[in-house]
Amino acid sequence: MTVTMIVAGALFALGALAAAARLVRGPTPIDRAVALDVLLAIVVGVIVLLAAVYASTTTLVIAVVVALLGFVGSAGLAVLLQRERS
């Protein structure tokens, strides 16, 4: 399980770096919203990975909340961006 944690953690870290780069660069606000969505999905993935490695279930509630929060964030941002333009 240690090897799993290192390999999967490295993959998550690379993905998070790429998404964060798009979050910084992204020419439109929608790009940034999507990059935030990806970043939050990676946060959920890291929480689940740690729960699997340590065989503990206490942090799974945080994963549920973050998954919902990611939806509310990106959907709300998309609606807001569209509304302020029209």
Partner 1 sequence: MSAADIVASAALIAGAAMSLAAGVAALRFPDTSARIHAATKPQVLGIVLLMIGLGIRLGTVAIVGELLLIVVLQFLTAPVSAHLAVRAAHRAPADDAPAEPEPASGDDRNDPRSTGAE
Task: By CB under 8 A, tell whether 62 contacts partner 1.
Answer: no
The token duo for 85 is: 């333009």
Task: By CB under 8 A, tell whether 59 contacts partner 1.
Answer: no
Task: By CB under 8 A, tell whether 69 contacts partner 1.
Answer: no
The token duo for 22 is: 């798009």
Nearest distance from C-beta of residue 66 to partner 1, angstroms: 10
Amino acid making up residue 7: V
Site string for partner 1, 5-24 (x = CB under 8 A): --xxx-xx-xxxxxx-xx--
Angle between helix axes 2-25 and 29-54 (nearest 10 degrees) is 170
